[in-house]
Structure 1
């Protein structure tokens, strides 16, 4: 006895329903029992009286004839069969190449066909929201007991015919399904999409895949190119014909551990696609010797650059020291100590914070000291800047003051004009003190 869900003969279920196949044998001695789907063995039980197999979720492609055979080497084997039917709503037949886009020239003809899977077999209805010069009656024919094809023949196409058409498919299992079929003027193919590198790379090869675009009404092919980094030029690798399905190819002869750049476009008898798609890949393994050499050269260049900067800083420091010893520049603390020791006149001292020289009334910077000032600002932190003025108008010329000195007094950064409120004595300042 052989049953499907406890029923013999024929069982009809909805897609995704569970199905239990059970076979019971009466024999002595016990038998070898096999459950088959056509010629494919599902399960086997040795020295047994029963065998069972369960479909957790019936699929449309699991419909068909199932059988149970048994033998115990006494007499002929016995067999019994059940038929399983699975109802499911319509869906596109993915084994058929792209079928929802078509192209033709004005005044030309086109045959539209759409293949679907469904059980029971469906009915087809063509329609269009805009006016058309075409007869949309169409036709259909079964391909198998679970597949059928809808057809629509369009002739002498006019401009208003190049639009979208709707195909409604219904087999009363669930809701009806509507598909949009586009009719376009023939032209260049569409750019491929989903161009990517797959994970199964080796030291000398990578795998690439892409989804074909619309062929523009003519058979198309795909041109794969790679970038030669030395010459910065794109070089053809191979050309592939369109099969209407996702394309997967292996690219070989690559360098271990290297970066590889590929680009892809399509072409038909009329033109090339309007753009490229690009993907970057890396082969497995360690880089080649020339890459390691390039990295070493890069390290040498970086080291040379750092050494040059250090040398420039060292020379800059020597220049600052020489200028300091010649008295052409003074630092804050040295300037304060020198003035206190040499000045014999009563001097009024005004202290100002040296924060970007913002407390000075005017700064007239000589061009020749600009770079020295910037270097000094980068290398020194001047907490205070003191300005010394000789407020005694009749003081005799003496080497202890800047007035009447035989040699030019030290220059301190810039010419600094003191603020009027520094001259607390109200007496006019000597002309020699206009610049410090």
Structure 2
């Protein structure tokens, strides 16, 4: 019979080791702490217990889902398997856990909740120094919201006017959990001032109360720190910070005016904030922007901003186009034309009247004027004879001897050589309104001739104009030339 022998150092004879597995992790708060009484300013530490084979090579701390890192300056210290939080604040409240990892895997601990107690504080920054407007005999409602742990147990409202503080009766407000509501009605001028709200809980009283400044309602303040920027050639963005609302809800308005004639092009309004996006602008035009605030009491003074055209106006290159005239301009031009026509008509009428009066003055008869009748109907025909001017005629035969001036005067062309027969109609003279008595005294006239004193009416001529002149012969034969 044979037996198999094995040495004592054979590993098969060793008891099996602790089985390898993922770490088992647990978390607890420091034993000296009372979790229900931790408040702001206390130091807190946690201990993380781990059982693992093999040993964990990494240990991680978490607050909720956020990993915690070592930061001694912020009061966060990681040491071996513990976490220390120095001078905790309400921001440190939350659920904490730790996680250990080895080659087999990772294990997470149970969460431990940290609650930090703190005195009440204002829940919203707007309640710290907020301004509220009201009218006399107008009831306003003030809301006080606080944040605290544990919840507040009471609220106190105080009115401060001219340095004197008076507690508001509890009957004027109601409280519920973290909120208190005050209904306040100012009656006199002294009823406007500062109202404060403070809460109290198990940690203590609120250090900085919530303040409300109650003022007589007024128009809002102009927007502040306005700026304008281009979002393109035809887009603008206007942004401002709101001013004091005058104690009433306020809105905002933007007016876009085209320069240089300040023509209104766009109008925008906003109830939330003084920020506007303007599009559809002409890139060749400059604009003026007016931003103002409004409430039920009125509007603020506008803030004016100016823009410069993104590009210069287009140069004229095409044919002339018809002008666009406004109705008012057309009316003015028509009125001016009518006035000009009326003035021209008046001037023409005056000129014609003056011309007629001047002509009538020229035709007035003179005492020594002779009148020549040009009307042929008033003349009697003389077919057989004619009359030679008596002023120079000294007789002559039937054959025409002894012509005008005679042979002794070579400067005068004789008028008795083949003289043309007189016209069938001759002029008949009528007596003038006035003729000197001795004008033709001693002068003999033929039977067929009328006296020079017999004048006719018509075209006027003075006696000097009827002086004898040389006779012009239109057709002549055997005319003796004169030596001039």
TM-score range, shorter chain: 0.3 to 0.5
TM-score (norm 1): 0.45
TM-score (norm 2): 0.42
